[in-house]
Amino acid sequence: MNVFEAIQTRREITHFQKKPIRSETLEQVLNSAYLAPAGNNLPSREFIAITNQDMLQHLANTTPFVRWLAEAVAAIVITGRPDISKYWLQDASIASGFIWLSATELGLGAAFGAIYHAEDANESTRREDYVRTALSIPNDRRIVAILGLGYPEQIPPAKSLLPRESIIHYEKFID
């Protein structure tokens, strides 16, 4: 599979087989996160790999929108470092995409669980503190997301997209 195939076949997978992920496969996914670009090449994001099923069950209670983590075989928590770079959120987001596409390339399913909430500081603090406490994450890190991983129970069909011409513009924005 090439990157274009991974982009086209990527789906959000929230139901996983109970089949373990080989450590070499998980390391490949983590390496893609490590190799993801960061503004000015600053270490503005860090990753925590989770394979402990009790911890995955616990993290599934972070917010009602990540209950599917209880079915995941592994997860990667993505943190950002505002003290290192003003681009911490962008850097963490790019790494999330690299993780998702490499998981797809390797036959894994992935789902993105947003923890950082840009529009509700209180909700963001609640979610982040829940994960921070569970994983002993220092206070100077922001918890951006958790990506759940596993072998898909089934592959859902592609979602309907808006017409391409309503999203892609050339030379200037046309409404």
Rg of the chain's alpha carbons, rounded to an integer? 17
pLDDT digit of tens for each residue in the chain (175 aa)?
A: 788 888 888 889 999 999 999 999 999 999 999 999 999 999 999 999 999 999 999 999 999 999 999 999 999 999 999 999 999 999 999 999 999 999 999 999 999 999 999 999 999 999 999 999 999 999 999 999 999 999 999 998 888 999 999 999 999 998 7
> DSSP assignment of 141-152, as one string?
-EEEEEEEEE-B
Compute the C-alpha angle 88/94/98, nearest 5°. Answer: 140
Q: Which tokens belong to 62?
A: 């972070």
The distance from CA 66 to its chain's CA centroid, rounded to whole angstroms, is 12
Task: Express each pLDDT in 3-51 by its tens digit.
Answer: 888 888 888 999 999 999 999 999 999 999 999 999 999 999 999 999 9
According to DSSP, the residues that pair with 16 across neighbouring strands are 152
**Three-class secondary structure of residue 60 per DSSP:** coil
Q: Which amino acid belongs to residue 64?
A: P
